[in-house]
Amino acid sequence: MSLHNRAIDYTDKDAFINRTKELNDLANWIKRKPNEILFIYGPKSSGKTTLLAKFIEFHLNDKHFNIKHFNLREVLIANYIDFIQAFFEVDYSKIPKEVKQKSQYSLKVFMLSKEIKKSLENKTLDPFVVMKKELQKIVKKGKRPVIIIDELQALEDIYMNGQRELLKELFNFFVAMTKESHLCHVIIASSDGFFMKRLFEDSKLAKTSKFFSVDYLNESDTKYWLNHLEKESLIKGYTLTSNQINMIWKYIGGSMFEISGLLGDLITVATETDITDNVLEMLILKRIKENRGRFKRYARLNQKKLFYLKKYSISACKSSILMKWIWNHS
C-alpha cells in the first residue's frame, strides 16, 4: 500500500456511550409535525454536537430529509453581513465557470443566485422571506426540511453589538416556520444557558419551544466505558482496575472531554498494559490544579462569583476534591 493510500491509525478514538434514550427521544420528536423549536442544552463538552451528528447519521440519512446543518463555531458572525454570508451561499452552478470561486467556509444552507445574495447584503430583500421561499421549494419536492444550528452562543457578538433585533427576527421566523406554518423542524444547540435564556426572553419564545437536556454520563455508563476501553475507545495499551475506575468517577465524574483527555495522557505512561495508582492520582491532581486555576481566575472577575462557587461547594459537591481545593485556597 502506498503512503498516499494508507489509512491513518490512531491510538484512540472518540467514544459514543449509550445515548439510546436521547436518540430515541429525538427520533420520536422528528416524526411529529413541526410545531415547536427544539433547544438542546447542557454543560460544555457534554456531547451535544456528537449526539446531533449521530442523530443525523442514524435517523436523517435518507432522501426524505433535507438537512440545513451548520456549526456556528466554524464562522465569525458579528454583524448583519456576516449573518448573510453564513446563511446564504451563491449557487455557482448557475453562473459561468470563469467567475466561479470558493469561499473559505461553505455551509451550503441556502443556495441562491448571485443577484439575490447581493440584494440581501444591500438589504433590498428580506432574508427571512428568501428563507421561507427556499423552504417551500424543498417541501414541494416532497422532502422534509430540518434546520439544525449548533453552538448558538457564537451569535452573541451580534447580540452584544446592538443588533439583537436581527436575532429576534431570526427566532420569530423559526416560530413562524414551526408553530404557525409547520414548514420545517428547527433544532438549536448551545452550552451557554445564560445566552439562551436571554434570547428566549427577548424573542418571547414561551409556548413555542421545547427544551432537551444532554448531560454528562451517569455513573453506570461512565464505568462501563472505563471497563471497555478497547471496544469503545480503541485503547489497547492498558486496562484500568476497579479501584482506578472508581477514582476517576469520584474526581472527574462523567465529563467525556475530561475523561478522554485523561485516558490519552495515560497511554504515554502505561507500562506493560498497567497503570499504577500513583501515576493516575498524579494526573488527576494535575487536572484538578488546572481547573482550580480556571475557577479562581473566573471568580476574581467578580467577588460574588467566588461566593457562589463556595456556596456550591458546600451544597452540591462536598466530596469533590476540586471544590475543596477552591474552598481551601481562595
Average pLDDT across the chain, whole number: 80
Q: How many whole angstroms from its chain centre is CA 24?
A: 18
Q: Is 253 part of a structural domain of the chain?
A: yes
CB atoms closer than 10 angstroms to residue 27: 13
Q: Are 272 and 309 in contact (CB under 8 A)?
A: no
Q: Are 200 and 159 in contact (CB under 8 A)?
A: no
pLDDT classification of 119: cutoffs 50, 70, 90: confident
What domain range is 307 assigned to?
A: 219-329
Residue 108: per-residue pLDDT: 46
pLDDT in tens, 225-239: 999 999 999 999 999
Quick one: cell of 183?
Answer: 414548514
Residue 271's contacts (CB-CB under 8 Å, 6 or more residues apart) are none
Within this chain, do residues 253 and 207 fall inside the same structural domain, yes or no?
Answer: no
pLDDT classification of 326: cutoffs 50, 70, 90: very low
pLDDT in tens, 84-104: 777 766 655 544 443 333 333
The percent of the chain in helix, strand and coil, each rounded to the nearest 5, is 55, 10, 35
141 pLDDT above the threshold of 80 = yes
Within this chain, do residues 208 and 87 fall inside the same structural domain, yes or no?
Answer: yes
**Amino acid residing at 172:** N
Within this chain, do residues 176 and 294 fall inside the same structural domain, yes or no?
Answer: no
Within this chain, do residues 165 and 73 fall inside the same structural domain, yes or no?
Answer: yes
Q: Are 288 and 328 in contact (CB under 8 A)?
A: no
Within this chain, do residues 52 and 183 fall inside the same structural domain, yes or no?
Answer: yes
Say how far apart CA 206 and CA 214 lie, in whole Å.
21
Higher pLDDT, 53 or 167: 53
Q: Provide, rounded to the nearest whole percent, the portion of the chain with pLDDT above 90.
A: 43
- The CATH number of residue 64's host domain is 3.40.50.300
C-alpha distances (whole Å) from 109 to each of 65, 101, 105, 298 are 14, 17, 11, 37
Q: How many domains does the chain have?
A: 2
The predicted model gives 274-280 an average pLDDT of 93
Exposure on the CB side of residue 151, measured as CA atoms within 13 A: 14
DSSP characters over 78-94: -SHHHHHHHHEEE-GGG
pLDDT in tens, 201-256: 777 788 899 999 999 999 999 999 999 999 999 999 999 999 999 999 999 999 99
Within this chain, do residues 225 and 197 fall inside the same structural domain, yes or no?
Answer: no
Within this chain, do residues 77 and 190 fall inside the same structural domain, yes or no?
Answer: yes
0.75 exceeded by pTM? yes
Q: Is 267 part of a structural domain of the chain?
A: yes
Q: Give the lowest-confidence range in 13-17, 262-266, 295-299.
A: 295-299
Residue 127: per-residue pLDDT: 78
pLDDT in tens, 172-210: 889 999 999 999 999 999 988 878 887 787 777 888 999
**Amino acid residing at 281:** E
Q: Which of 190, 89, 186 is nearest to 146 (CA)?
A: 186
